[in-house]
């Protein structure tokens, strides 16, 4: 019951933030962050109406996806992606928020190409097969220049967007941000507005194969502000499932 009540409160806060910003609540998707959360609690969140779930690690997501295979969940990778996990990520996730280099993007592209090049009738090395549809991805930008966080510098984002736009199986549709942590969520607002402005700059360049429709920003303590500044995907874990070690 607590999970259902928590989700209801979050939805109310999303709606209130949208009213303040003159936005439509349906344009904001709640991604429930399930790091260390057991499958039965994920089912509770699904039963409460959540359809998008985010995982930080590929290996943890593999086990959960298998345990929840009967649910039509949309899985988002929101943690740092190592290049040697790109093939598995392509198999598991319908979204990847955390692309921060051309190398990672190319590995995701190569994973799809290897699947497409497999001779007809040849069994894949492991199930499920790599998806060949265009994979929605976001570029992660490190606006706080924090050495402990992934993401590329703001100045490098337009060039990376141009390069990724040339890849055939990736759908670059926006940007992701993990700002510095502040107790006062209002201090995150300048970072959220900068990401929105950066998306506008990239959009205005008219790069082939590049859309800037999505902004993944805002977590449990600051998602209200992120929604006011244009977030379309908010990543919320603690406010749904409680504190985790």
pLDDT digits (tens, 9 = 90+) for 185-232: 999 999 999 999 999 999 999 999 999 999 999 999 999 999 999 999
Residue 122 within a domain = no
Tell which residue, 159, 172, 243, 238, has the closest CA to residue 201.
159
Residue 121 lies in a domain: no
Mean pLDDT of 113-121: 56
- Write out pLDDT tens, residues 138-173: 999 999 888 888 899 999 999 999 999 999 999 999
Residue 34 token pair? 């399930």
| Model pLDDT, residue 245 | 58
Lowest-pLDDT range of 6-20, 84-98, 112-126: 112-126
Instruction: Please answer whether residues 175 and 141 qualify as being in contact, where contact means their C-beta atoms are separated by less than 8 angstroms.
Output: yes
What is the span of the domain harbouring residue 234? 2-115+128-241
128: cis peptide before it, omega within 30°?
yes
Residue 123 falls inside a structural domain: no
Is residue 33 in a domain? yes
* 70 three-state secondary structure: coil
**What is the CATH classification number for the domain harbouring 185?**
3.20.20.10
Q: Is the dihedral of CA 140, 144, 149, 150 positive or negative?
A: positive
| 42 within some domain | yes
Q: What is the percent of the chain where pLDDT is above 70?
A: 91
- Residue 136 inside a domain? The answer is yes
Residue 202: inside a domain: yes
User: Residue 14 domain-assigned?
Assistant: yes
Whether 238 has a pLDDT exceeding 60, the answer reads yes
* Number of domains the chain contains: 1
């Amino acid at each position: 019951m607590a999970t259902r009540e928590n989700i209801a409160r979050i939805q109310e806060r999303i709606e209130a933030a949208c009213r303040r910003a003159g936005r439509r609540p349906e344009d904001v998707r709640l991604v429930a962050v399930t790091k260390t959360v057991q499958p039965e609690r994920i089912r509770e969140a699904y039963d409460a109406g959540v359809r998008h779930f985010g995982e930080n690690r590929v290996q943890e997501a593999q086990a959960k996806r298998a345990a929840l295979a009967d649910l039509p969940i949309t899985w988002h990778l929101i943690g740092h992606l190592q290049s040697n996990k790109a093939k598995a990520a392509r198999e598991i996730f319908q979204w990847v928020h955390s692309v921060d280099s051309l190398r990672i993007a190319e590995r995701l592209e190569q994973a799809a190409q290897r699947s497409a090049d497999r001779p007809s009738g040849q069994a894949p090395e492991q199930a499920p097969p790599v998806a060949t549809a265009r994979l929605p991805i976001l570029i992660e930008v490190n606006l706080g220049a924090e050495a402990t966080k992934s993401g590329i510098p703001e100045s490098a984002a337009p060039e990376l967007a141009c390069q990724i736009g040339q890849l055939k199986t990736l759908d670059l549709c926006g940007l992701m941000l993990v700002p510095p942590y502040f107790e006062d969520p209002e201090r995150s607002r300048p970072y959220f507005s900068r990401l929105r402005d950066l998306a506008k700059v990239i959009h205005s360049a008219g790069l082939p194969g590049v859309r800037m429709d999505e902004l993944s920003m805002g977590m449990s303590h600051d998602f209200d502000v992120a929604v006011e500044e244009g977030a379309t995907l908010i990543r919320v874990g603690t406010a749904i499932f409680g504190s985790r070690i």
